Structure 1
Amino acid sequence: MEIIQTSGRSRETYKVEVKHSLLWECALGIAAITNTPLLSSLEKKESEWNHIKTALSSDMLSQLELAERHNTWKALLQLLHLKDYPSIEAFLQNISELTAVDLKAACLPFLGQAYQADVQKAAEGNQESVQALKNAAKDHTFFPAYIQFICQTDIDFLRSHLYSLMEGWYRTVIQPEADQIGTVLTVDAAAKEAMRRRKHPEELVTWATGGIHYLPEPSVHTVLLIPHVVYRPWNVEADLAGHKIFYYPVSNQSFHSADPYIPDQFLVLKHKALGDEQRLKIVKMLGEKEHTLQELTNRLGMGKTTVHHHLKVLKAARLVRNNGTVYSLNGNVLQSLPAELEDYLDDRL
C-alpha cells in the first residue's frame, strides 16, 4: 500500500544526559562482586577481586553476603538517583535522614507509572500493594524477592546495612584510587558529551554502549548515560520514572587519554570480527534473514562448534544478537561502523 506523507513533524525521540560520579562506581562495584556467576566475565581478574576481599573487614564481608542474597546493590543505585550528591558524606547523610517510608519507596524498582501508587503504599506496609508489585515483576530474575525483602525488613536494619555497605566499599576500594578512577570517568563523560553535540540521540546511545539500539518509548523522555570502569565490558540497564539509564563501560581511549592513537575496544572487536571470510558470510546471511545455529551450520557446511565460535566472536563485537538458538544481525551497529571509524580518525572532538 502506498502512503502519502502529509505530516511535516519529524519522529520524536528522547534527549540524552551524561553524568558521572565515584558513587555510581562504588555501587556498581558492590553489584559486580556480589554477582558471582558474572565475575569471570569481567575485565578485572579473579586475583584482583580476591585481593579486594582480603582488604575488607569481616563486617564488610558479612554486608556483602547479605547484598548477594538480596541484591541490595539495587537499592544503592536507586538511592543515588534521588539527587546529585557531591560526596560520599552527603549520600550517607541522606540515607540517615530519609524517613522509613521514603527510604523504602526510593529502594523499590520502577515498574511503570501505573504502579507508583503501589510503591508508596508498599513502602508503608500495605501487603496488597507489595503483592501487586511482585506480580508486576514476576518475570524478572530477582525483583519479586527483592521487593519482599525491602518491604518486610526492619527499617533500622535496612538503613544500617545500606550505610555500612556503601561506606565500607567506598573507603576501602574507591577512595585509595579516587583520583585515577575519577579522571577516567571524567575523560569518558567529556568525550560522550562532546559527541552528544554531533550525533542523533539514538546514535549516541548505540555508540556509547557499544551496540545497544534503544528506540524511543512513550514514557521515556531522557536517557541517562553513566560511565563505569568496574563492570567492563558490560552495560547495566535500569529504569526510573521518565528515564532509561545505561551504566556503560568507559572506552579504552579514556584509560589512555594522553595517547590519541588508542582506539575504542569495540571498534577493534568489530573490525576483527569482520576480518574473516566465514564471519562475513554469516553477517551477509543474517542480513538477509534470521537463522538458527543449525541452519547456519547447514548452509556453511561447517561443524556446529566452529560456527558457534564464529557467532560468539560476532556477538562479542555486538554485531550479532540471539534469542535462544535464533540469531539475527544487529544492523544498526554495522551501519554505524563507518562513522565510528571516521570519529576515531578525526581528532576534532
Structure 2
Amino acid sequence: MEIIQTSARKRESYKVEVKSSLLWECALGIAAITNTPLLSSLEKKESEWKTIKDALSADMLSQLEVVQKHNTWKALLQLLHQKEFTSIEDFHDTVSQLTTVELKAACLPFLGGAHQADVQKAAEGHKESMKALMAAAEDHSFFSAYISFICETDPSFLRAHLCSTLEGWYQTVIQPEAEQLSRVLTADVTAKKAMLKRKHPEEMVTWATGGINYSPEPSVHTVLLIPHIVYRPWNVEADLAGYKIFYYPVSNQSLHPADPYTPDQFLVLKYKALGDEQRMKMIKMLAEREHTLQEMTNRLGMGKTTVHHHLKILKSARLVQNNGPVYSLNGNVLQALSDDLENYLDSGL
C-alpha cells in the first residue's frame, strides 16, 4: 500500500552531551581490575595491572574483593551521576550525607520508568519490591544478585566500602598521574564537542563509540558521552532516567597529541579487519543476509575455529555484530568508513 507523506516534521532524536571526570576514570579502573576475564583484552598489559595491585594497600585489596564479588563498581558509577563532583572529598561528603534510602535508591540500576516506584520501595526495605526488581533484571548477567546485595547489605558497611574503594584507588592510581590523565580526557572532550557541531547526534554516538548504533527511544532525551582511558578499547553502557550513557575509549589523537599523524584506533581496526581476503568474503556474505557461524563455516569451507577467529576480528572493528549465534553486518559503520577516513585526513588542517 502506498503512503503519501504529508508531514514535514523531522524525526526527533536525542541530544548529545560530552563530559569527563577523573572520578569516572577512577570507577572504571576499579571495574576493569575486578573483571578478571576481561583483563587480557584491555590495552593495559596484565603486567601493568599486577604493578597496580602490588601498590595497593591490604585494605584496598580487601575492598576490591567485595567489588569483584558484588559488582559494586556499578554503585560507584551510579553515585557519580548524582551531581558534578569537584573532588574525591566532595564525593565522600555527599555520600556521607545521604540517608540510607537515598543511598540505596541511588545505587540501584535504572530498569525503566515502570520500575521506579519499586526502586524507591526496595530502598526502603520492601522485600516484594526488591523481588520485582530482581525479576525485571533476570536476563542481565549480574543485576539480580547486585540488587539483592544493595537492598540487604548494612548501609554503614555499603557507605564505608564505596567511599574507601573510590578514595583508595584515586590516591594510589589516579592522583600520581592526575595532570596527564586530566589533559587527555579534556582534550578528547574538546575534540568530540567540535565534531558534535558537524555531526547528527546519532552519527556522533556511532563515531565516538567506534560503531554503536543507538536509535532514539521515547524515554531517552539525552545521550551522555564520557571518555575513558583505562577501559580501552571497550565501551561501557549504562542507563539512567532520561539518559543513555556511553563511557567510550578516548581516541589515539587525544592520547598522542604531539603526533598529528596518529589515526584513531577504531579506524585502524576497521581497515586491518578489511585487509584480509577471507574476511572480505564474510563481509559480502553478511551484506547479502544474516548468517550463523555454522552457515559461514559451510559456505567458506573453513574450520569453525578459523571462521570464529575472523568474525572476532570483524566484531572488534565494529563491522559485524551478533545476536546469539546469528551474525549480521553493521552497515552504518561500513558506510561511514569513508567519512571516518576523511575526518582523519582533515584533522589538524
User: What TM bracket, shorter-length normalisation?
Assistant: over 0.9
Q: CA deviation at 1:242?
A: 0.3
User: Is residue 30 of structure 1 aligned with residue 30 of structure 2?
Assistant: yes
Please list, as runs of the form range in 1=range in 2, the aligned pairs for 1:3-152 lying within 5 A after superposition. 3-152=3-152
Amino acid in the other structure paired with 2:185: L
Please list, as runs of the form range in 1=range in 2, the aligned pairs for 1:203-222 lying within 5 A after superposition. 203-222=203-222
2:179 and 2:289 map into 1 onto residues whose CA distance is 48
Q: Which residue of 2 aligns with 1:329?
A: 329
1:114 and 1:156 map into 2 onto residues whose CA distance is 29
Q: Which residue of 1 aligns with 2:175?
A: 175
Please give the secondary structure, in 1, of the residue aligned with 2:336: helix
2:204 and 2:193 map into 1 onto residues whose CA distance is 10
How well do the aligned residues superpose, as a CA RMSD in angstroms? Answer: 1.2
Q: Which residue of 1 aligns with 2:274?
A: 274
2:276 and 2:149 map into 1 onto residues whose CA distance is 50
Q: Which residue of 2 aligns with 1:202?
A: 202
1:9 and 1:81 map into 2 onto residues whose CA distance is 33
1:194 and 1:79 map into 2 onto residues whose CA distance is 29
Q: CA deviation at 1:348?
A: 5.6
User: More deviation in 126-135 or 233-242?
Assistant: 126-135
Q: Which runs of 4+ in 1 moved over 4 A?
A: none
1:71-105 deviation per Cα after TM superposition (whole angstroms, max 9, x unaligned) = 11111000000000111111111011111111111
CA contact (8 A) 2:70 2:146 kept: yes
Amino acid in the other structure paired with 1:226: I
2:102 and 2:341 map into 1 onto residues whose CA distance is 47
Please list, as runs of the form range in 1=range in 2, the aligned pairs for 1:151-190 lying within 5 A after superposition. 151-190=151-190
Q: CA deviation at 1:290?
A: 0.5
1:320 and 1:248 map into 2 onto residues whose CA distance is 18
Q: CA deviation at 1:121?
A: 1.1
Amino acid in the other structure paired with 2:46: E
Q: Which residue of 2 aligns with 1:307?
A: 307
Q: Which residue of 2 aligns with 1:230?
A: 230
1:56 and 1:304 map into 2 onto residues whose CA distance is 43
Q: CA deviation at 1:332?
A: 0.7
CA contact (8 A) 2:260 2:348 kept: no
Q: Which residue of 2 aligns with 1:344?
A: 344
**Gaps (5+ residues) in structure 2?**
none
Q: Which residue of 2 aligns with 1:258?
A: 258
2:343 and 2:22 map into 1 onto residues whose CA distance is 28
**Gaps (5+ residues) in structure 1?**
none
User: More deviation in 29-38 or 296-305?
Assistant: 296-305
Please give the secondary structure, in 2, of the residue aligned with 1:49: helix
Q: CA deviation at 1:324?
A: 2.7
1:179-207 deviation per Cα after TM superposition (whole angstroms, max 9, x unaligned) = 11111111111111111110010000001
**Number of aligned pairs?**
349
1:248-302 deviation per Cα after TM superposition (whole angstroms, max 9, x unaligned) = 0111111111211100011011111112222222111101100122222232233
1:280 and 1:51 map into 2 onto residues whose CA distance is 40
Q: CA deviation at 1:4?
A: 1.0
User: More deviation in 254-263 or 221-230?
Assistant: 254-263
Identity of aligned residues (%): 77
Amino acid in the other structure paired with 1:145: A
The alignment's TM-score, normalised by the length of structure 2, stands at 0.98
